[in-house]
Amino acid sequence: MNYDSREMSSLVYHNLSESRKQASSPSDQKEQKSQAVELYSYVSTWGLLRLKAEEFALSASQKNKRDIVQCFFKTLSELIQDPDFLVGKLGLQRLSDRQNLSASEYLGLTGVALQLAHEFAFWAEAIYPKEKK
C-alpha cells in the first residue's frame, strides 16, 4: 500500500461529515465531536483492541459516541483497502485472533490508527460547530 496523507485526510473528512449528519441536535454533535477528539488518547492509552471492544460496551444512551467509534473503524478498514475488515463483531474477532493478525501486523495497524485518530481530532474541529459561550 502506498501512503498518501491526502487519502487519509479525505476519508476522514467524508466519513466524519456523514456521521455529523446523523446527529440531530447540538448536544449530539457536541458528544460526537468530543469522542472524535478523544480517539487518539484512547488508542494510545488502551489500544486498538480495547477501543473495538468499547464499541459494543457503549450503551444506547451513548449512541453518538458509538457512531464515532464505528466511523473510525470503518475509515480504518477503508484505508487498509479491506472495507469490512474491522467492521462489526467480526472486526473484534479479527483484531484479537493471533492467527489472523500477527503481533507486528497489529502494531503496524495501531500505528496507522494513531495517525488516523490525529486526523479525526483535526477534522472534528473543522466539521463540528464551535461552542457558543
Task: Give the residue extent of every domain in the chain.
Answer: 5-17+47-127
**pLDDT tens digits for range 5-53:** 788 999 999 999 999 999 889 999 999 999 999 999 999 999 999 999 9
Query: What's the whole-number mean pLDDT along residues 61-75?
Result: 95
Q: Which of 112, 36, 115 is nearest to 80 (CA)?
A: 112
pLDDT at 2: 60
Q: What is the pTM of this model?
A: 0.92
Three cell numbers written together for 47? 489500544
pLDDT band at 60 (very low <50, low <70, confident <90, very high): confident
From residue 45, how far is each of 12, 31, 54, 95 by CA, in Å? 22, 20, 13, 17
**pLDDT tens digits for range 69-94:** 999 999 999 998 888 899 999 999 99
pLDDT at 61: 86
